[in-house]
A and B are shown apart, each in its own frame.
Chain A
Amino acid sequence: MPELAAIWLTLQLSLVTTLVLLVIGLPFAWWLSNQTGGLRTTLETLTSLPLVMPPTVIGFYLLIMMSPDTFIGGLWLDLTGDTLTFSFAGLVVASIIYSLPFMIQPLLNAFESVDPKLREAAGDLGASTAEIFRHLILPLSKRGIITGGILTFAHTVGEFGIVLMVGGNIPGETRVISIALYEKVEILNYAEAHILSVTLLTFSFLVLFITYSLNKTPLMRLR
């Protein structure tokens, strides 16, 4: 099996991205699901932007934002002694932004499909808002949370343009499967390109198959 390092790096990146997005996404989506009006629409639009923007556009802005000359890039350099661009940490930041809608939308849908009458009943029995989230909303949203996790993971595995812009092609640091595949094709090594492609294709198929089996509702319900 060629490119084991790239495969390993991809899995690491996807796992870290998924975990970070779960930690950020659960409270954020819960808060957002309780909002109404213009703020809600604005934030939902912003989190969904990565769905329609070309990855290169996001990658370009992120590259500029994370460069050592800027506040964020400079701060990161001072704290870690390393640049945020062309590093694994930079890839994680980029993936979080790029995969945001794949976590937030399933969570929002799941939270909102919990019957508000059950929330009323729990409150009537004396449960606080935090207890209602912990004991009612979370367990009843289990499928949505799993769906969000799987989709985020799979989407991160498959990203290309944004990685290329922000991370480049540093083996063991930023060289993920899709970059490795691109390079194989560039140097006309079709045999190895085939192996990587079939691996990704099989992986994607399995992930979506599992998700659909879990969840008989459409993948994304954009409003």
Chain B
Amino acid sequence: MLIAQITCSRGSFSFRAKVDLKPGVLYGLIGPSGSGKTTFLHALAGIVPADGEIKFKQDIWQDHSYIAPSQRRSTSTVFQENRLFPHLTVKENLLFAEERTLSDSCSVDMKAVVENLEIDRILEKKPEQLSGGQIKRVSIARSILSDPDVLLLDEPTTELEDRLKSKILKFISELTKTNNKITILVSHHLPDIGRYCEETMVISKNVISPPRPTQSVFVRGLADLANNAESLEGSVLSVTVLDHQRDRGLTRLSLADEVIVAPISADLERGEKTNIFVLARDVILASEQPDKISIRNCLSGHLVEINEYPDGFSSVVIIDIGGQSLAARITNSSLQDMNLQTGQTIFALIKTISVEV
């Protein structure tokens, strides 16, 4: 659908990309700082030049002889920095986008967008009167209202509190599916990518990998990134909401036969499927089921893989729990002391606090 086969050189770095993105999917894009994530988005939008071909449906956005200006590309970008028009009010900024939509059927409604981003009270304000978080929310609303076929989000959730962040990413994820759009989310906060993106692209060693299911990227694909000082690898697990224990501030989730307790996330409904994210370094392993311990979550599974980590002193152990993979990062010395072998039964202990819903 959106086929991009480009190379891009900007100053000190360059990258290659060969991707084919499908509508209705929220894609994640991760990679070390300065690897070209922003430049890739800008190349798709036609803001920076790139060599190669970009095609959306039947439209050629660029090939060897033609480069469509950004006006002709049905993209909209949420930029990292504030690019609201300073002489217009929030509402006028939104109308500027809405009036210039390229799509014939406006599939988004101003009222719904304004409510979901919680900016109804600041519509008459000028950008200079807004806080950083408000600017981000208005920028997101403006891009959504231009109703693009391809929505490009460059770190859209920095400066947002957790509650709003979840709400907004969920809203974007729903819009992507119901309106059959392509959305690319760049974030250095891996839990956000893990929880909301079905597929993820990784920039590593100057190459943007084609998108793969996020769960597999997270369990096996992050060692290269970690090498570049982003040791935030973890696992995305698909779970079902059992119930909320409001008095204790907990939400119970089920994963295969296991129950996982997480900090309360009251906006989720019973029976709803959602993704949780667990950092590999927050998982503790035990070869026998421990008792008398403060940790609420003790999941039993089979050890399927041990991968030595590039840092030389630790390894990532992958455990199969009801068909899903959980990564645990432990030191090589514990690995030896416990005499862990692939195939054995093992217990993974996760603190409630470490479960990101």
Residues of A whose CB lies within 8 Å of any CB of B are 117-118, 120-128, 131, 135-136, 139-140
Contact = CB atoms under 8 A, between A and B. Distances in A.
B102 A140 contact: no
A123 B81 contact: no
B315 interface: no
B82 to A, nearest CB: 9
Contact of A127 (B45, B47, B96): B96
A120 B102 CA distance: 17
A25 to B, nearest CB: 21
The listed residue with most B CB atoms (<10 A of its CB), out of A124, A128, A135, is: A124
Contacts of A123: 47, 69-71
B85 interface: yes
B100 A126 contact: yes
B100 A125 contact: yes
Contact of A122 (B81, B85, B86, B143): B85
B324 interface: no
Nearest to B77: A124
B75 A124 contact: yes
Nearest to B142: A125
B34 to A, nearest CB: 19
B85 A118 contact: yes
A126 B77 CA distance: 11
B85 A136 contact: yes
9 contacts: A117-B79, A118-B85, A118-B86, A124-B45, A126-B71, A126-B100, A126-B101, A127-B96, A127-B100
A140 B100 contact: no
A139 B76 contact: no
Nearest to A129: B71
B83 interface: yes
B97 interface: yes
Contacts of B75: 124
A120 B151 CA distance: 16
B238 to A, nearest CB: 34
B146 interface: yes
B72 to A, nearest CB: 9
B83 A118 contact: yes
A128 B83 CA distance: 17
Given A120-B47, A139-B87, A125 B76 contact: yes
A81 B27 CA distance: 73
B96 A124 contact: no
Contacts of A124: 45-47, 70, 75-77
A126 B85 contact: no
A127 B100 CA distance: 7
A130 B112 CA distance: 31
Interface in B136-181: 142-143, 146
Nearest to A126: B100
B320 to A, nearest CB: 44
Nearest to A121: B83
B83 A126 contact: no
B79 A126 contact: no
A118 to B, nearest CB: 6
Contact of B146 (A120, A125, A128, A131): A125
9 cross-chain pairs, A with B, having the tightest CB-CB distances, nearest first: A126-B100, A121-B83, A123-B70, A139-B87, A125-B97, A124-B70, A125-B146, A120-B47, A124-B77
B252 to A, nearest CB: 44
Contacts of B101: 126
Contacts of A126: 71, 97, 100-102, 146
A119 to B, nearest CB: 10
Contacts of B97: 125-126
B315 to A, nearest CB: 45
A117 B75 CA distance: 16
B262 to A, nearest CB: 38
A105 B46 CA distance: 31
Contacts of A140: 86-87
Contacts of A125: 76, 96-97, 100, 142-143, 146
A128 B71 CA distance: 7
Contacts of B85: 118, 121-122, 136
Contacts of B142: 125
Interface in B40-61: 45-47
Nearest to B143: A125
Contacts of B143: 125
A121 B100 contact: no
The listed residue with most B CB atoms (<10 A of its CB), out of A117, A120, A127, is: A120
A123 B85 CA distance: 12
Contacts of B102: 126
B70 A117 contact: no
A131 to B, nearest CB: 8
A123 to B, nearest CB: 5
Contacts of B47: 120, 123-124
A140 B87 CA distance: 7
Contacts of B77: 121, 124
Contact of A117 (B45, B46, B81, B146): B81
A126 B143 CA distance: 11
